[in-house]
Amino acid sequence: MVKLNAIYTRTGDKGTTGLVRGPRRSKHDLRIEVYGTVEEANAFIGNARLAAADMPQLDLLLGRIQNDLFDVGSDLATPGADDPDAQYPSLRIRPIQTEWLENQIDRFNADLEPLKSFVLPGGTPLSVALHLARTITRRAERLVSALLAAEPDTNPQTMIYLNRLSDLLFVLGRVANENGAKDVLWVPGNYGDVKKG
């Protein structure tokens, strides 16, 4: 169990931060940006849960995702491979966690009407909150892609997990819109509301 007694340590006052292992890094280092963005996505999912109070099944699912995202953050904060003699292996995202996301996508998508256009964020407050979390998750995924190019020993499962999570958040955004009944669909080139002048 993690114990956090001191809230401030002053160790980051010079613009660096400590990872789980390895030398300290600049606070604008790509790896720090990556897991900071994962944390941001987690916070937005927490915000979405406030709007999911009357959907306990969805709230429970989002709670599990928040915990998994902490695992993603821990994985990304631990660069390099484990020492073969280490007593405890580093916490890493595993394929089983992504498989669980895929199962949830299949489960919730089964009751949705097929889409005839792209969906715009809108409809209900919960749907919009889930779309916000989705777009931040997509940004985290793009950053992990850059990190994998810069530091190939990064766990590729982190990017796969984030890719699948963004798909699930899209599906849940439709679920939150009464299974798609309140979806706001993109109408390409719709200038009907633009007044001439």
Q: Two tokens at 53?
A: 């109070």
Going 50 to 134 to 161 to 172, the CA torsion angle's sign is positive
Q: Is residue 153 a contact partner of residue 79, using CB atoms and an 8 Å limit?
A: yes
- Residue 72 CB-half CA count within 13 A: 31
Is the pLDDT at 119 greater than 60? The verdict is yes
Per-residue pLDDT tens digits for 129-174:
999 999 999 999 999 999 999 999 999 999 999 999 999 999 999 9
Q: How far apart are CA 58 and CA 175, in angstroms?
A: 9
Average pLDDT rounded to a whole number, residues 98-122: 92
Per-residue pLDDT tens digits for 169-191:
999 999 999 888 898 888 888 66
**Distance separating the N- and C-terminal Cα atoms of the chain:** 65
Residue-range domains of the chain with CATH: 26-79+93-185 (1.20.1200.10)
Q: Is residue 48 a contact partner of residue 133, using CB atoms and an 8 Å limit?
A: yes
